[in-house]
Amino acid sequence: MLGLRKRAKITSMNANSKWSLKKDVYIELDSDGNSGMLIDTNTSNYCSCNKTALTILKKLKKGKIDISQLTKEILKINTISQTIARKDISHFLIKLKNMNLINEKI
């Protein structure tokens, strides 16, 4: 019997991966520039984003970037430890990957 396979959720990531935002995903900034929306034009899904998320998304939109580079960018604007920043970014990238909003190149 043939059936549909449910797509497996990603729960970890390769530290050497390079990430980029998919071409059909857009970022809309609010007038204050500190928040905005992430819009997937393929599915019409959207979500609101805070300043930290927007910083990551802007870097992903520019092209292939790894988690170490993203961590450095976040540490420039937040007073948190490198370990916490890297963990939070990793979780954010996993969520974006599970939503099929980013590309990964290993």
Residue 2 resides in a domain = no
The whole-model pTM stands at 0.84
Residue 11 resides in a domain = no
% pLDDT > 70, the chain: 89
> What range defines the domain where residue 42 resides?
18-105
Q: How many folded domains does the chain comprise?
A: 1
SS3 category, 83: helix
Q: Is residue 1 scored above 80 in pLDDT?
A: no
Enclosing H/E stretch for 91: helix 82-98
Tell me the CATH number at 70: 3.90.930.60
Say what the pLDDT of residue 11 is.
62
Contact 36, 27 (CB under 8 A): yes
DSSP state of 68: H
Residue 102: partners with Cβ closer than 8 Å, 6 or more residues away: 19, 20, 21, 22, 25, 60, 93, 96
Residue 12 resides in a domain = no
Residue 81 resides in a domain = yes
